Amino acid sequence: MTHIITSLCVRDRGCIDVCPVECMIAGQPINEWPWIYIDPDTCIDCGACVPECPYVAIFPEDEVPSAYTAKGGEYISRADLTGHFEGTNHHGGPIVLDTAKQLEPGEVVDFTPDIQPNYDFFKTGPGYSAKDTDNGM
């Protein structure tokens, strides 16, 4: 199994540094790969990243919610969305996303479609080579 980062990820980057096997990679280009991605072949399911995420975006693969009920106000980010999100990441740097959407209270979201992109990023996407163009955002 592996852990999965869902579209609740807004690139806070709090998780990346704690991974003991360095398998969390910031997606590039951001509009195409807006999250941080976990290499499923390398993740050891230690769970260390989960409590580091202030947006509660990381789940064991078999616990990814299929019917998440939004508190309201939280953002999701997916490549096919066009809303704007700005914030400050774990290191004090800027976060700017143009693939975001703010959820309404009670809105129900299925996060299971977010599982496959975590695999695709390393199979058909940039994978570890995204580190070469990582600008810290």
Give the DSSP per-residue string, the chain: --EEE-TT-----TTGGG-TT--EEE-SSTTTS-SEEE-TTT-----TTGGG-TT--EEEGGG--SSEEP-SS-EEE-TT--EEEEEE-TTS-EEEEEEEEEPPTT-EE--GGGHHHHHHHHHTS-GGGGGGG----
Question: Could you say whether residue 55 binds ligand SF4 (CB under 6 A)?
Answer: yes
Among 52, 61, 98, 107, the residue binding ligand SF4 under the rule CB under 6 A is: 52
Question: Could you say whether residue 81 binds ligand SF4 (CB under 6 A)?
Answer: no
Question: Could you say whether residue 1 binds ligand SF4 (CB under 6 A)?
Answer: no
Among 4, 25, 57, 109, the residue binding ligand SF4 under the rule CB under 6 A is: 57
Q: How much is the CA Rg of the chain, to the nearest whole Å?
A: 14
Among 4, 7, 15, 99, the residue binding ligand SF4 under the rule CB under 6 A is: 15
Question: Could you say whether residue 44 binds ligand SF4 (CB under 6 A)?
Answer: yes
Instruction: Give the integer Cα–Cα distance in Å for 131 and 7.
Output: 20
Find the shortest distance in angstroms from Cβ 120 to ligand SF4. Answer: 17
Question: Could you say whether residue 13 binds ligand SF4 (CB under 6 A)?
Answer: yes
Among 3, 64, 111, 118, the residue binding ligand SF4 under the rule CB under 6 A is: 3
> Footprint of ligand SF4 on this chain (CB under 6 A)?
3, 5, 9-15, 18-19, 21, 23-24, 36, 38, 43-49, 52-53, 55, 57-58
